[in-house]
Structure 1
Amino acid sequence: MSQRINYIQQSPELFKKFLEFSNLLKESAIEESVRDLVSIRASQLNGCAFCLDMHVKEAKIHGERELRIHHLPAWRESTLFAPRERAALAWTEVLTKLPEQGVPDDIYERVRTQFSEKELSDLTYDIMAINAWNRVNVAFRTVPGSADKAYGLDKANLT
């Protein structure tokens, strides 16, 4: 696979502002481990190899267990995820693959039992961001692993 265009070079100011937005999410009310799971799951759903590669490496650096990463596509059947994580994954899936009829009340209610209004708002912004990153990287075929050194992801020791 080869990259179509380098969107960072073509739109440096937009990239800089969006990166700033994404970096602000690290200070949100959502814990790092949940943000990692959300980023991996959305990237799986969107078929974004670049983001999937990046966020699996980040999760490993952050201490995530490999088995949990392997279980993400089957999180509903897995016993490895806490109720809060399950709610975040359900919210990620419904916002990533928006149904025609909108977000079902039962999913919203399940998420509201696990997250405060502030947390749910922050989680939603996190999901918005990863979906946007997925779309730009899928569109322009960003090569997985191509930014490892720049982002310190080589420390994950995954090849």
Structure 2
Amino acid sequence: MHGEIRRAKSAKETIMSAHAISERAKTNASARADYNALSGAIAEKFLAFSMALKDSSIDANLRELVYLRASQMNGCGFCVDMHVKQARIHGERELRLHHVAVWRESPLFDARERAALEWTEVLTRLPVHGVSDRVYEHVRANLGEKELSDLTFSVMAINGWNRISIAFQSVPGSADAMLGLTKAGMS
């Protein structure tokens, strides 16, 4: 019960932050329509869905690597900026963040992280004929079914955020203070 109240309070605070981000974006000349105001109920539910992922089997450090990789692939400057800073706040090493884009060649990631990054890539850019059995079995062998399922929802969420941030031209760094990202010391 207390956990549900804490999660509800946290989700409400995050929703309020999202509305504040939207208000700030309106003052930026390059920002487009205020999707939070126009589609408030939907935006709040999507944010609640995203917040629920914090309670998934995917730990925060791995989740940030996944969010960063999908954001890099999608070309979402706002989300790349945000997830680099969140990863640093969670204690991620700077060099590993630089290596996320070249994770296949980098010796800095373990088998579990590599599997998660591979799954992120295949779901972010779905192959014409879907996800191969080889990729599915490889990722499942390294993560297990529960983590694979939770990771899939995480990849769905970040791809959605990337698309809305790109469509409405969210400005990298514009919400750092509101989201507590100044703690990363990278502003």
TM over 0.5, yes or no? yes
How far residue 7 of structure 1 moved from its aligned partner, in angstroms, is 1.2
Compare 9-18 and 66-75 and name the one that shifted more.
9-18
Q: For the residues of structure 2 that align with 1:148 and 1:12, how far apart are their CA atoms? A: 22
How far residue 55 of structure 1 moved from its aligned partner, in angstroms, is 0.5
Counterpart position of 1:70? 98
TM-score scaled to structure 1, two decimals? 0.97
Q: For the residues of structure 2 that align with 1:31 and 1:114, how far apart are their CA atoms? A: 15
Aligned residues: 159
Q: For the residues of structure 1 that align with 2:178 and 2:35, how far apart are their CA atoms? A: 16
Counterpart position of 1:31? 59
Q: For the residues of structure 2 that align with 1:73 and 1:66, how far apart are their CA atoms? A: 13
Q: For the residues of structure 2 that align with 1:154 and 1:12, how far apart are their CA atoms? A: 26
Partner amino acid, structure 1, of 2:80: L
Counterpart position of 1:142? 170
Where relative contact order (Cα < 8 A, 6+ residues apart) is larger, the structure is 1
Q: For the residues of structure 1 that align with 2:138 and 2:59, how far apart are their CA atoms? A: 18
Compare 65-74 and 7-16 and name the one that shifted more.
7-16
**Greater CA radius of gyration, 1 or 2?**
2
How far residue 14 of structure 1 moved from its aligned partner, in angstroms, is 1.1
How far residue 118 of structure 1 moved from its aligned partner, in angstroms, is 1.3
User: How much identity, in percent, do the aligned residues show?
Assistant: 60
Counterpart position of 1:93? 121
Gaps spanning 5+ residues in structure 1: where? none
How far residue 143 of structure 1 moved from its aligned partner, in angstroms, is 0.8
Partner amino acid, structure 2, of 1:132: G
Counterpart position of 2:36? 8
Q: For the residues of structure 2 that align with 1:144 and 1:63, how far apart are their CA atoms? A: 21
1:100-137, Cα deviation, whole Å (9 max, x unpaired): 01111211111011112111110000000000000000
Q: For the residues of structure 1 that align with 2:161 and 2:175, how far apart are their CA atoms? A: 14
Q: For the residues of structure 2 that align with 1:7 and 1:142, how far apart are their CA atoms? A: 11
Gaps spanning 5+ residues in structure 2: where? 1-28
Counterpart position of 1:130? 158
How far residue 141 of structure 1 moved from its aligned partner, in angstroms, is 0.6
Moved over 4 A (4+): none
How far residue 13 of structure 1 moved from its aligned partner, in angstroms, is 1.3
Counterpart position of 1:46? 74
Q: For the residues of structure 1 that align with 2:186 and 2:34, how far apart are their CA atoms? A: 25
How far residue 145 of structure 1 moved from its aligned partner, in angstroms, is 1.1
Structure with higher helix content: 2
